[in-house]
Amino acid sequence: MEHDEFELTYQELSPACEAILFASGDPIAQDRVAEILNVDVKVVEEVMNKLISDYENNPWGGLLVRRVENSYVMSTKPGMKKVLERMFSPKMHPPLSQASYETLAVIAYNQPVTRAQVESVRGVSSDSIISRLIDRGWIEECGNLDAPGRPALFKTSKQFLMEFGISSVDELPSMELMSYQTIRDLEESLDKAAGNDDKQMTIDGYIDDSQETEEGESFDGERD
């Protein structure tokens, strides 16, 4: 195998990573960055962590460098939301319903899940809402359950992590899933995610609990 003689000085690595992120636009895997720069992945992590800190602490900038799972991406700061909404007005996506946020929360806190499992928690058909969340880019198929019919499994996407401002699903705030007055509160709780140790609601646990409730009891709010 031919030896790769490409080499940059340490001082050149930071602007090189910055250029790669800008040119990529989409999240780019740290392994790919290491391959491009011909350096070890640990070096990429060190340089990217510095870029993340530099961008975050720059009061004059409107951009951030963020880690999304094992990838990095350049994005706008949350404070630029109103400016960008004006830039791209009218909005490309209509506001989601409470039922959509409810379905998103069920998937986010119990992934990977099937349509049937989501419907077991919500108590109603969720086909159209799941399709809407896929179109929005917040969830995606991630395989099939090893069961009769091999139903599709769904999980949240990298787009979900980017738009809700977290690096991985491990940063989702712990919560009793059904305690919200409105599932839109999920957005606010993600902004304030801070390591709450409360036990998270799971599908199996919710189904067990729901068997003890009165017949006909259901979620409040809009339904699909």
pLDDT tens digits, one per residue of 141-153: 998 888 888 889 9
Residues 85-99 have a mean pLDDT of 71
Q: Which two tokens stand for residue 185?
A: 């509160």
Domains of the chain in sequence order: 10-82 (1.10.10.10), 98-210 (1.10.10.10)
6-15, 41-50, 97-106, 151-160: lowest mean pLDDT where? 97-106
Q: What is the dihedral of CA 104, 136, 61, 51, to 10 degrees?
A: 70
What average pLDDT is seen over the chain?
Answer: 78
For the stretch 170-213, pLDDT in tens is 888 765 443 444 444 555 555 554 344 443 444 444 444 444 44
Number of Cβ within 10 Å of residue 4's Cβ equals: 8
Can you state the angle between helices 30-37 and 10-24, rounded to 10 degrees? 130
Residue type, 67: R
pTM score of the predicted model: 0.55
Q: Are 155 and 139 in contact (CB under 8 A)?
A: yes
Q: What CA–CA distances, in Å, run from 152 to 104, 116, 120, 148? A: 16, 10, 15, 11
- Contact between residue 123 and residue 135 where contact means Cβ atoms under 8 Å apart: no
- Residue 84 gets the label, from left (phi > 0), alpha (psi -120 to 50) or beta, of alpha
Other CB atoms within 10 A of residue 98 CB: 17
Per-residue CA distances from 69 to 29, 65, 73, 131, 141 (Å): 9, 13, 11, 24, 17
Spatial distance between the Cα atoms of 126 and 128, rounded to a whole number of angstroms: 6
Q: How far apart are CA 74 and CA 84, in angstroms?
A: 15
Q: Is the per-residue pLDDT at 41 higher than 90?
A: yes
Q: How many residues does the chain have?
A: 224
C-alpha torsion sign, points 184, 190, 195, 201:
positive
